[in-house]
């Protein structure tokens, strides 16, 4: 097991350096089609979590610039208002709105989704972008480990609770979940709260991101009849405030070769814009193409029973706390 973990880390490091950096994006961009990004989204309602900075901000701006009505979900009101003003000014789109919600709180998520859903607006695109890498064990008011609460519970809750609005936008509705290449280093585990004595935030984050990819697969399977597409994606290694704060070593080592936030958001926007017949529901995307969910010989494939146990846990966390 120790040797396998070491192999995963080494393989991920090499794979990432070759593909996830700015130079990797520039190389892959040679096959991109400009017309793919010229589609307009006037009349479409789009929601982006964690939209006040980094990739979330670039995603919200990109959607707004194409005429979409955009709902920016942010925790911090002051930062959210500043980002909202900037995006409106840059895009000239008045239909950009700020929604305040602390995604570490299940009660706030339920309150927000209930309030937003009361208007019965169809939701065409939900981008689960908000993420967190906290290196120290922090427990939320709900008794949940903080990384897990934001990265997994919030992603699950937002998607499940907005299913009725997404169905209203069918057959064009889609859910895009922003994962991370770090998930290549971890297999799926139902040890959701990281019960090991020595907490490792980086490992927990990677486990969370693996769950997001598996959740996307499960949603595609469960709701194939609802006219909703479910996609997970990896934005590459981008120069965001989150990376600078949580992974300063990586940020320093790759200084000058990290992707811009616009490059990080590129595949999110591409997934939001493409006709659904071009996409595969449940798939994992990177640089505008479907890509592998497991590195060779990494041992990260899982049995359906593990995902079923995780899903049962998540359902209990959200729907048993009424």
The Cα 204–Cα 219 span in angstroms is 22
Q: Report the CATH number that the domain containing residue 23 is assigned in CATH.
A: 3.40.50.720
Please write the tens of the pLDDT for every residue from 180-239. Answer: 988 998 999 999 999 999 999 999 999 999 999 999 999 999 999 999 999 999 999 887
Structure tokens at 154: 């919030």
Question: What local confidence, expressed as pLDDT, does residue 241 receive?
Answer: 73
Q: What is the pTM of this model?
A: 0.93
pLDDT at 248 over 80: no
Assign 83 to helix, strand or coil: helix
Q: What percent of the chain has pLDDT over 70?
A: 88
In this predicted structure, what is the pLDDT of residue 236? 93
pLDDT at 257: 78
CB 97 within 8 A of CB 144: no
Cis peptide before 35 (omega within 30 of 0): no
Mean pLDDT along residues 31-41: 97
pLDDT mean over 254-271: 91
Give the number of domains in the chain. 1
Q: How confident is the model at residue 6 (pLDDT cuts 50, 70, 90)?
A: low
Side-chain half-sphere exposure of 133, counting CA atoms within 13 A:
21
pLDDT of residue 3: 47
* Residue 50 Cα to chain centre, angstroms: 10
Does 149 have pLDDT greater than 50? Answer: yes
Is residue 247's pLDDT more than 70? no
The per-residue b/e assignment along 19-39, b for 16 or more CB within 10 angstroms, e otherwise, is bbbbebbeebeeeeeeeeeee
Domain region containing 105:
2-319
Would you name the residues annotated as active-site residues? 205
Q: What is the mean pLDDT of residues 48-63?
A: 98
More confident of the two residues 187 and 280: 280
Assess whether pLDDT exceeds 90 at residue 16.
no
DSSP state of 135: S
Residue in 31, 50, 33 with CA at minimum distance from that of residue 274? 33
Asked if residue 15 has pLDDT above 70, the reply is: no
Which 3 state secondary structure label does DSSP give 311? Answer: helix
Backbone angles phi, psi at 133, to 5 degrees: -125, 100
Q: Tell me the torsion sign for CA atoms 52, 54, 59, 62.
A: positive
Q: Which residue has the higher pLDDT, 103 or 187?
A: 103
Q: Which residues of 104-126 are buried (b: 16+ CB within 10 A; e: fewer)?
A: bbbebbbebbeebbeeeebbbbb
DSSP 8-state secondary structure symbol assigned to residue 302: -
Mean pLDDT across the chain: 91
DSSP string, 240-292: -HHHHHH-HHHHHHTTT-SBPHHHHHHHHHHHHHS-GGGS-TT-EEETTEEE-
- Show the CA angle centred on residue 279, arms to residues 262 and 185, nearest 5°: 65
Has residue 174 got a pLDDT over 60?
Answer: yes
CB 175 within 8 A of CB 285: no
Residue 302's pLDDT band (boundaries 50, 70, 90)? confident
Q: What are phi and psi of 294, to 5 degrees?
A: -145, 135
Band (102; pLDDT cuts 50, 70, 90): very high
- Enter the tokens of residue 302: 């899982």
């Amino acid at each position: 097991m120790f040797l396998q973990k070491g192999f995963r880390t080494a393989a991920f490091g090499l794979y990432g350096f070759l593909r996830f950096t700015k130079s990797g994006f520039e190389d892959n961009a040679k096959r991109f089609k400009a017309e793919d990004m010229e589609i307009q989204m006037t009349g479409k309602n789009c929601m982006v979590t964690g939209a006040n900075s980094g990739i979330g901000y670039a995603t919200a701006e990109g959607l707004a610039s194409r005429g979409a009505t955009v709902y920016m979900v942010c925790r911090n009101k002051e930062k959210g208002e500043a980002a909202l003003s900037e995006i409106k000014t840059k895009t000239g789109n008045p239909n950009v709105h700020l929604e305040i919600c602390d995604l570490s709180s299940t009660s706030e998520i339920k309150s927000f989704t209930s309030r937003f859903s009361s208007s019965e607006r169809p939701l065409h695109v939900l981008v689960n972008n908000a993420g967190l890498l906290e290196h120290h064990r922090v427990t939320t008011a709900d008794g949940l480990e903080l990384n897990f609460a934001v990265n997994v519970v919030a992603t699950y809750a937002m998607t499940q609770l907005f299913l009725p609005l997404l169905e209203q936008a069918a057959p064009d509705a889609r859910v895009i979940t922003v994962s991370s290449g770090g998930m290549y280093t971890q297999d799926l585990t139902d040890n959701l709260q990281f019960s090991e004595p020595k907490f490792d935030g980086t490992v927990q984050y990677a486990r969370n991101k693996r769950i997001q990819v598996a959740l996307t697969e499960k949603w595609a399977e469960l709701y194939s009849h609802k006219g909703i597409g479910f996609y997970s994606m990896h934005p590459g290694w981008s120069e965001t405030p989150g990376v600078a704060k949580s992974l300063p070593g990586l940020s320093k080592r790759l200084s000058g070769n990290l992707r811009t936030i616009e490059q990080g958001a590129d595949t999110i926007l591409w997934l939001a814009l493409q006709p659904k017949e071009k996409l595969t529901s449940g798939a994992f995307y990177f640089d505008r193409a479907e890509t592998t969910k497991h590195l060779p010989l990494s041992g990260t494939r899982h049995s359906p029973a593990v995902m079923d146990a995780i899903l049962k846990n998540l359902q209990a966390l959200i729907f048993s706390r009424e």
